[in-house]
Amino acid sequence: MSDELPRQREARRGFSVCYRGKTLLSVVDPINQAERIAGSIEKLSRTLYFCPSPLYGYGLTRLLSGISPDSAVLCVETDERLMALSLEAMEGLLRENPQLRLVRTADPAGLCACVREFWGSRRFRRVVTARLSGGWQLDGERYQALADALSRDIASDWSNAMTLLKLGRRYIRNAIRNLSLIPRVPDISRVDFGGAPILVPGAGPSLDGILEGLSAAFGDLSNPAERPFRIICVDTALRALRERNIKPDLTVALESQHWNLRDFIGLGDWTIPLAMDLSALPATAAVPGAEPFLFFTPWAPLSLFDRLEQAKFLPKTLAPLGSVGLTAVALALRLGSGPVVTGGIDFSFTPDGFHARATPGGLESLHRNTRFQSLINAGQTFRRGSVSTRSKTGVPVRTDPAMKGYRDLFEREFAGENSGAGGPRLLSITGSGLPLGIPAVEGEEAWAILAGGPGEDGPSGNGPETRWSVPAGDRAQLRGAVELFVREERETLITLRGILKGEIAPGQGELEKLLDTADYLWAHFPDCAGAGGRRPPGTDTSFLKRVRVELDPCIALYDLVLAELAEPAPGGTHLS
């Protein structure tokens, strides 16, 4: 940092500031200029006004007086000395107005976290930049990056809310149903791949060429124990691997609906070690040959999950990334210490291919091909929002906002894995997919990395073939503990139902407490989804009626879980 201090110069109204060779405020009437800018800014509801480098705070009073009660102003400063100036000048305004905050940061993620802390999730719909001074010119690119990060984060909040609105009921009902698996199915943390290299195949169009190169380089890959690397694939890629008799060490299933069941058709006598999300479709655990392991991605902050964690029933938790490909990479990085090579995680498509050929989607497009219908699906390829772009090899491909969003999330989530010493740990194989923000390597180099094995200092780990070794008495005790937990949850819902039906007189504050305890009943409501736990009060009749509709199906699910806990588990894993 330069030793130069901000120089103050008196103007007709207020003060001008000179710093680092720039005049940051008008030398004539800085207050009037800032107020004119503030008055010209469009005032919208549920808007976060981003004010870079506010300096003396000129214009903020005018801006705050015109915005709606559900909007707010966020002032951000990246320079330490200018921040000290702003804190002193704006102390009274900050204390008096809860719609105003001042933060010093240059970290986009940190700034987004501050907004959540100050105002909660799903508070704002948009970001509007309000440049009330010239201070932003000192760090223009960084301020723009901060504004862009805020916009992305708000858009992500609303996107997640829409997902929760559509699928939240399905997620929680799957999770409740899968509680019966907890005493029977190992946690994914029991799997350890040690220092062995890991290949993570997605199901994108580039997977076909990658698997052909892999088979040519290594020959027979049907026996995981005989190869120097491990394979963690997404469930949609299973049939593409089966076509070449490449047996994975672990398959990842995240899908909460029935669509992923077709990924397991035609696998013959394969046994499939299966990393399964707690909120995945319950039938996934029962597919022929499946040997499931549980993990958990929290799609919403629910008190049920806190209780499961306190009871030590919650499986290993991963960040909710929304994509099975991203989740497979996250698992690979956590289940081993060796290099991870991705392939077929494309986030792009071509006019005649959205997935690898042998995947269910690829086969479906082939089956639809007739004299009257081409392999090129023009409606999908050129749908609204899809754009042409360049792949890692420079070949033209197409993508859409959803895929591009996942690609950007991939980079934000995983690019930091390569920041340590010792060379990159996470790489992608060059192909027709979008650049992922991590080093891309040609096939030959990727095969050399995979052929390197775990190395002298990296054991290969126990792998998923090591089953859950728990004495029968301990397993029975665990089953009893889960059963007790389920009964308590069921009783909570029965009590809430009795209050809503008028059969039970609630105590002081009891209804509000029960609504918060059973927050999974309403977390997917349009006015609650993605709102950070905010809900209408217990005096809202419309809200209570909607909660009442959710109660009976959830109570019935708990009854089903209790019945399943009392029955022998499939595959000879009865706990009694």
Grouped pLDDT means (10 residues each) for the chain, 576 residues? 67 78 82 91 93 92 92 94 90 89 92 90 91 90 94 87 91 96 92 94 92 93 92 94 94 92 88 94 93 93 95 93 93 94 90 80 72 70 79 86 88 82 84 89 93 63 58 77 96 97 92 96 91 88 96 97 82 37
Structure tokens at 341: 């090579």
Structural domain boundaries of the chain? 7-158, 182-188+198-350+357-451, 472-572
Long-range contacts of 66-69, Cβ-Cβ distance < 8 Å, separation of 24 or more: 66/38, 66/39, 67/43, 67/99, 68/43, 68/44, 69/99
Report whether 133 contacts 44 (CB < 8 A): no
Q: Judge whether 448 and 442 are in contact, CB under 8 Å.
A: no
- In the chain, the amino acid numbered 293 is F
Contacts (Cβ under 8 Å, ≥6 apart) of 10: 16
Q: What are the angstrom distances between the C-alpha of 100 and each of 46, 54, 96, 132? A: 14, 12, 9, 14
**CATH classification (class only), 7-158:** alpha beta
Torsion from C-alpha of 96, 100, 101, 106, nearest 10 degrees? -150
Q: What is the pLDDT of residue 466?
A: 47
Q: How many helices (H) does the chain have, and how many strands (E)? A: 16, 18
Q: Which residues contact 466 (CB under 8 A, 6 or more apart)?
A: 190, 191
- 3 state SS of 500: helix
Torsion sign (Cα): 132, 138, 142, 144: positive
- Name the β-bridge partners of 390: 396
Q: What pLDDT is attached to residue 576?
A: 31
Instruction: Assign residue 202 a region (left: φ > 0; alpha: ψ between -120 and 50; beta: otherwise).
Output: beta
Query: Degrees (nearest 5) of the Cα angle 421, 198, 265?
Result: 155
Give φ, ψ of 49 to 5 degrees. -90, 115
Encode burial over 525-548: b for 16+ CB neighbours within 10 A, e otherwise.
beebbbbeeebbebeeeebbebbe
Q: Which two tokens stand for residue 5?
A: 């201090």
Going 131 to 135 to 138 to 143, the CA torsion angle's sign is negative
pLDDT of residue 510: 95
Using DSSP bridges, classify how beta strands 290-296 and 272-277 pair: parallel, antiparallel or unpaired: parallel
Q: Integer distance in angstroms from the first to the last C-alpha of the chain?
A: 68
Closest C-alpha to 203, from 171, 167, 243, 148: 243
Q: How far apart are CA 129 and CA 145, in angstroms?
A: 12
